[in-house]
Amino acid sequence: MEEVLEHPIDGTVSCGCCGRFPLVGERVTRHVNRRGREWACESCEASGRGARLGAITDSDRVRSLGGAANVHVRSAA
């Protein structure tokens, strides 16, 4: 089964801690918790506030809509 990678896109991803929308190129970290998956911005991760969002699953850079239009598929191992 193939899993489509979900990349953070400018204007659609907000930080689960501070609520701001990270800029294109900024690193965000995905956390998983009881409410689902949430992103944390670089500032919140660096200060430790991101830890309250749950376990870290991955991180990525925020992409522009055009850059996110490229399809990336990862095969399940």
Predicted pLDDT at 11: 84
pLDDT of residue 3: 47
Over residues 25-74, the pLDDT tens digits come to: 999 999 998 888 999 999 999 999 999 999 999 999 998 877 655 555 55
pTM over 0.75: no
pLDDT of residue 2: 47
> CB within 8 A of 76, min separation 6: which ones?
1, 2, 3
**CA terminus-to-terminus distance, the chain:** 9
Mean pLDDT of 2-16: 76
